[in-house]
Amino acid sequence: MINASAAGVIETCRKNRDKIGTLYAGQNGILGALHENLIDTSKETASTIAALKHCPGGAFGSCRYKMKDIKDSTAEYERLIEVFKAHNIGYFFYNGGGDSADTCLKVSQISAKMGYPIQAIHIPKTIDNDLPFTDCSPGFGSVAKYIAVSTKEASLDIASMAASSTKIFILEVMGRHAGWIAAAGGLAAEEAGDPPHIIVFPEIPFVREQFIAKVEETVKEKGYCVVVASEGASYADGALISGSLNKDAFGHQQLGGVAPTLASMVKHSLGYKYHYALADYLQRSARHVASKTDVEQAYAVGLAAVEKALQGASSIMVTIERSAAKRYNWSLGEADLVKVANVEKKMPRSFIRKDGFGITKKARDYLQPLIMGEDYPPYKNGIPQYPRLKKILVEKKLATGFTD
């Protein structure tokens, strides 16, 4: 969905070329701006830009680079000003999650603290759905759809094997501190008692004995047990069920390995044969199973970002607002970046069953509209077709480079 938002930005800028001028895309996010590696989007054809709406991955690259606070180090900001001045840049659109909101906020501070006029607008996109002040985040609806579909299909497979073979299936999904993606697995159930039988949330402290007891009870009743587990699940003391000691630039611990850890617990305690899967990159790149609602929202926030900038807005994030009407309806709003950056929206306790192992009707009512509708990419020879961008860099104007 990050590309659908990019399409919204680029196409809207092209319609306002007299006010915008040339739109550049930073190669690999903020690093592209710092290194003066700027892609001239005007060199891309209209059909290629339109095709971004169904392209997975980040078409212009991405990064995990944390800018220092402006009061602690001015070097990065002085460099940005040099690049912005050299290429006459007055608008800055940054697409991503909480870390991107942090970067966008810091860039917006240039205008006030360093006297350079720049309007910075954050465009929300995170599969984790943990950005505050927006009903949902583009990217989440499609990941939720993928997880719900995968859970349902794997559940049918395990049910067919359970009588004489595998009785446990565990699907590990992304979600550091928020269980939105894990909760989406619950949409696979059409009736009470349908799989997934257990959802492991980061918001609910993990208790091994309770988990094992629930698995055993489910197998006795259903003949098998399907589990959806969030990678960020942890014990009451905050210790992760499984995780790496490696951290990224923003201090986030590298996660992964919850599924095999849970499977090992089950095998050791109950002896059941198991299979597990890590959705990993597949869940966020499976454009062939996208939510139409998600695609529409992703494009809309990109379009709105440009319109709001032209109206004079800065240091805001475009938000998606859900109407109070019974029938699902949404509109666009905005939130102050100061309130958005470095804040995580977790699952409300009212969305999680009392036993901590499933979702409530309230959660289902929230989640269901976000996965609605299909938006398939074009196919050729049985394979989805995705655009190939030229990514032509503009000529550098600065004599010096930048060292990370």
Tokens 């900001």 belong to: 77
Catalytic entry in 99, 102, 128, 294? 128
Q: Is 296 exposed, middle or buried (0-12, 13-18, 19+ CB in 10 A)?
A: middle
The DSSP bridge pattern shows strands 168-173 and 274-278 to be parallel
Q: Is-contact 1 287, C-beta < 8 A?
A: no
Q: Is-contact 272 266, C-beta < 8 A?
A: yes
Distance CA 212, CA 397 (A): 63
Q: Is 272 exposed, middle or buried (0-12, 13-18, 19+ CB in 10 A)?
A: middle
Q: Which residues contact 15 (CB under 8 A, 6 or more apart)?
A: none
Distance CA 48, CA 65 (A): 28
Distance from CA of residue 248 to its chain's centroid? 17
128 is catalytic: yes
Distance CA 174, CA 280 (A): 7
In 3D space, the residue among 396, 361, 306, 340 whose CA is nearest the CA of residue 12 turns out to be 306
Q: Is-contact 268 258, C-beta < 8 A?
A: no
Distance CA 195, CA 328 (A): 26
Q: Is-contact 261 212, C-beta < 8 A?
A: no
Tokens 């970067």 belong to: 103
CA dihedral of 233, 236, 242, 248, whole degrees rounded to 10: 80
Question: At residue 18, what is the residue type?
Answer: D
Distance CA 52, CA 383 (A): 17
3-state DSSP assignment of residue 120: strand
The DSSP bridge pattern shows strands 330-336 and 379-380 to be unpaired
What the block records as the tokens of 9 is 């930005």
| Entry field: residues in the chain | 404
Question: At residue 212, what is the residue type?
Answer: I
Known catalytic residues?
Answer: 128
